C-alpha cells in the first residue's frame, strides 16, 4: 500500500511538504487579503463561493490527485474554510473531532442530528459512516509550528467513531499529541474524525490555512451538501 494511504488509514493524517510553489501561495494570499474580511476574525467559512481562485484549486487535478487515491474518483469538494491565527485574532480550539458538515437546508432526519447554523450556513452532524469517508486538505500559506499555534493531533484517534467527552479526555491523557509543523506550501491531509486542537500562538504572526473538505457520497433522504 502507498505510504500516504497507509498513514491516513493508520494515523489519520499525512503531511506533504512543498506542494504549492511560492508564486501560487502569493496569489492565494493576495486574493484572500483582497477580500478584506479577516481582520480580527478567525476565518472565513464560505470560501468556495467567495474566492474563484480557491474554488479552482479545490477542483484542480493537482489537489484531486491527492484526494482520489483515498476517496475514489467520485469524490467532490463539499466545504472550504479559511483560518488565520494572527496578532488580533490569536485563538485556540480545544480537542475535538470535526463532526459537522455544511448542508443546503435542514431536514428533519434523525440520523443527521444535532443541527446548527454557523455564520448563516445550516450545519448537521451526519452519521459516522459519512465522516469516516471524508478527507480534509489543509493548504498552508505560512510555515506552521509550535510558535504560531500549529494544529495538534492524536494519531489513530480517527478509528473509533464519534468520541464522547470522557473518551476524548482519556485519549488526551494516554496518548502523545503531535504538532503538525508544515512549510508554507505544504499540505496536511487528515480524517475529520482525528482528534485535533490548537493553542494560541506564542509568537503571533499570520498562520493562514485553506481548509478544504472532500466527501465521496451523497447524503440521505434528499439532504444536500451545502456546496
Ligand X SMILES: O=C(O)CCC(=O)C(=O)O
Q: Binding to ligand X by residue 83, rule CB under 6 A?
A: yes
CA 63, 68, 71, 74 dihedral sign is: positive
Q: Binding to ligand X by residue 213, rule CB under 6 A?
A: no
Give the residue, chosen from 15, 19, 20, 98, that forms a contact with ligand X under the rule CB under 6 A: 98
Q: Binding to ligand X by residue 95, rule CB under 6 A?
A: no
Size of the site for ligand X (CB under 6 A): 7
Q: Binding to ligand X by residue 182, rule CB under 6 A?
A: no
Q: Binding to ligand X by residue 38, rule CB under 6 A?
A: no
C-alpha distances (whole Å) from 87 to each of 63, 146, 151 are: 30, 15, 17
Q: Binding to ligand X by residue 78, rule CB under 6 A?
A: no
| Residue among 86, 98, 73, 96 at smallest CA distance from 212 | 98
Taking the C-alpha atoms of residue 38 and residue 132, their distance in angstroms, rounded to an integer, is: 31
Contact indicator for 100, 125 with CB cutoff of 8 Å: yes
15 vs 198, which CB is nearer to ligand X? 198
Q: Binding to ligand X by residue 198, rule CB under 6 A?
A: yes
Residue nearest ligand X (C-beta atom): 198
* Chain residues in the site for ligand X (CB under 6 A): 83, 93, 98, 151, 198, 209, 211
Amino acid at each position: 500500500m502507498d505510504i500516504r494511504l497507509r498513514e491516513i488509514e493508520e494515523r489519520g493524517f499525512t503531511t506533504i511538504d512543498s506542494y504549492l510553489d511560492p508564486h501560487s501561495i502569493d496569489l492565494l494570499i493576495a486574493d484572500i487579503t483582497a477580500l478584506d474580511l479577516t481582520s480580527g476574525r478567525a476565518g472565513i467559512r464560505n470560501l468556495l463561493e467567495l474566492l474563484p481562485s480557491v474554488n479552482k484549486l479545490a477542483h484542480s487535478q493537482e489537489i484531486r490527485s491527492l484526494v482520489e487515491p483515498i476517496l475514489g474518483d467520485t469524490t467532490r469538494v463539499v466545504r472550504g474554510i479559511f483560518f488565520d491565527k494572527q496578532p488580533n485574532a490569536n485563538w485556540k480550539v480545544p480537542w475535538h473531532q470535526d463532526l459537522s458538515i455544511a448542508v443546503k437546508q435542514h431536514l428533519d432526519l434523525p440520523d443527521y442530528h444535532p443541527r446548527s447554523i454557523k455564520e448563516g450556513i445550516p450545519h448537521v452532524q451526519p452519521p459516522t459512516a459519512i465522516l469516516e469517508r471524508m478527507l480534509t486538505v489543509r493548504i498552508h500559506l505560512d510555515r506552521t509550528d509550535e510558535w504560531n499555534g500549529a494544529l495538534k493531533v492524536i494519531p489513530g484517534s480517527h478509528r473509533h467513531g464519534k468520541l464522547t467527552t470522557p473518551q476524548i479526555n482519556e485519549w488526551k491523557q494516554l496518548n502523545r499529541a503531535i504538532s503538525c509543523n508544515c512549510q508554507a506550501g505544504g499540505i496536511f491531509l487528515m480524517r475529520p474524525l482525528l482528534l485535533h486542537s490548537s493553542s494560541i500562538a506564542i509568537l503571533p504572526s499570520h498562520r493562514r490555512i485553506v481548509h478544504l473538505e472532500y466527501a465521496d457520497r451523497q447524503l440521505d433522504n434528499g439532504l444536500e451538501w451545502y456546496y
